[in-house]
Amino acid sequence: MCCGFTGNSFRELNEGVGVSLNKVLLRWGLLLLWCGLIFFGTANRHFTGESTHAVVAQAAPSIGLASAQQLDWLNLAVRKVTHVVMFAVLGLLAWRAFETRRPERAAAWAWLFVTLYAASDELHQHFVPGRTASVWDVLLDSTSAAVVLLVVPYVASHIRRQKAESPR
């Protein structure tokens, strides 16, 4: 027993899914690592809208974009697609960390986690020079996770059903 936790305590957290302590620690470790990556990106002045605009401006002529309006739209698209990808992955990692026998329950907890993390990340950005906080980004992040979390439990239960039905 370490710190009041036994192997059984961790299994109880996962509602008897049969996940080993090592897998639980790996899943939570990856989730926290991804949270740290997001935090690093939002705390770093090199990942602001202005800096991505400079990168987009350099790359734009090679794909045939030249006008200021085209550059602004591409910059916006790059930044928002980054939000979608980062928080969709966060949703997937959170779903694995919260894994239970009921994938819908894990998805609900994962969505709540991602939404709260997105809100805290935007609050954090409010205090970072050169960054701004946006409720719309929280909505985008939360929606990205929701889409992934609506699809993944369905796919996971379908795969489990097929495994159970297939002869061994």
User: How does pLDDT run across 124-167, given as a tens digit for each residue?
Assistant: 999 988 888 999 999 999 999 999 999 987 887 788 888 888 87
| Inside any domain, residue 5 | no
Q: Where are the alpha helices (DSSP H) in 44-67?
A: 49-59
| Inside any domain, residue 52 | yes
| Inside any domain, residue 90 | yes
User: How does pLDDT run across 14-37, given as a tens digit for each residue?
Assistant: 554 567 889 999 999 999 999 999
In degrees rounded to 5, what are phi and psi of residue 2?
Answer: -130, 125
CA-derived radius of gyration, the chain: 20
User: How does pLDDT run across 78-133, given as a tens digit for each residue?
Assistant: 889 999 999 999 999 999 999 877 878 899 999 999 999 999 999 999 998 888 89
Q: Which domain holds residue 87?
A: 17-165
Number of domains in the chain: 1
Please check whether residue 66 is in contact with residue 97, taking contact to mean a CB–CB distance below 8 angstroms.
no
| Inside any domain, residue 131 | yes
| Inside any domain, residue 74 | yes
For 49, the token pair is: 């809208």
| Inside any domain, residue 101 | yes
The per-residue pLDDT for 65 is: 72
| Inside any domain, residue 116 | yes
pTM equals: 0.80
User: How does pLDDT run across 34-82, given as a tens digit for each residue?
Assistant: 999 999 999 987 777 778 878 888 887 888 777 888 888 888 888 899 9
| Inside any domain, residue 8 | no
CA 41 vs. chain centroid, Å, equals: 13
